Amino acid sequence: MSLPPGPEAVVFDCDGLLVDTEVCWTRAETKIFAAHGHGFGPEQKALVIGGTLEKAGEAMAGYFGRPGAGPELAAELLELVRQELARGADALPGAVELVKVCAAAVPVAVASNSPRELLDAALASSGLASFFPVSFAADEVTDAKPAPDLYLKACAELRAAPQRSVAFEDSATGTASARAAGLFVAAVPSLPGGTPDHDWLGGSLADPGLLRWAAGLGHDAR
């Protein structure tokens, strides 16, 4: 399926889609798993990717056989990711150009499952912050992804109908959220071999077809 012409808004996930923060998260997660006597590979990454810190803490507690330790592990992960992000995180290929062209034509926003602190750090480090006067983090809604709250809140702030808006996501958790909110779902998977629910599937934000689509938004937008 092709990307729809003339959307009322475009809403982007952040981690693993716009900004190469998954490297930071993976280094932090590897340290925690190692501290508890476990290796960290694709199977373990699939347990924690795309969810909130709280969900990651719960997943690790279950995997480590430490019931009730979720909040402690989530706090540990937050501190480690904070340290990693302090070293900087780059925009992923194609992200800056795509966002710039979209933002010049239609309202854009970020809907992220990261807490506000980490979202702001990622956008600032990557040079994308100035394109997003509207952004929402997991700690600013009642239910984060895969619930639809973040996307519904972003569309409401942009005064756009969800059914006439496009979401860009990289994880199954994120695409489930966008789907539940009623947006057109464009997926660029960050995990090799992963194929989350989607209406449009691409390998990178640097896909030439994406930029052509974005360049046409100014002519089709309301």
Residue 222's pLDDT is 41
pLDDT tens figures, 30-49: 999 999 999 999 999 989 98
pLDDT in tens, 102-140: 999 999 999 999 999 999 999 999 999 999 999 999 999
Residue pair 218/102 in contact by the 8 Å Cβ criterion? no
Q: Say whether pTM exceeds 0.85.
A: yes
Span 197-217, average pLDDT:
94
Among all chains, which residue has been given the structure tokens 């973040």?
150
CATH number of 9-20+89-220: 3.40.50.1000
Q: What is the dihedral of CA 201, 205, 209, 212, to 10 degrees?
A: 140
User: pLDDT for 53-104, tens place per residue?
Assistant: 899 999 999 999 999 999 999 999 999 999 988 888 999 999 999 999 999 9
Tokens 């925690």, located at residue: 32
Instruction: From residue 130, give the alpha-carbon distance in Å to each of 8, 21, 81, 104, 126.
Output: 20, 18, 23, 12, 10
Q: Tally helices (H) and strands (E) across the chain.
A: 10, 6
Per-domain boundaries in the chain: 9-20+89-220, 22-85
Determine the Cα–Cα distance for residues 159 and 205; give it in Å rounded to an integer.
Answer: 25
Q: In whole angstroms, what is the distance from residue 199 CA to residue 1 CA?
A: 6
- Residue 147 has what pLDDT? 97
- How many Å apart are CA 154 and CA 142, to the nearest integer? 14
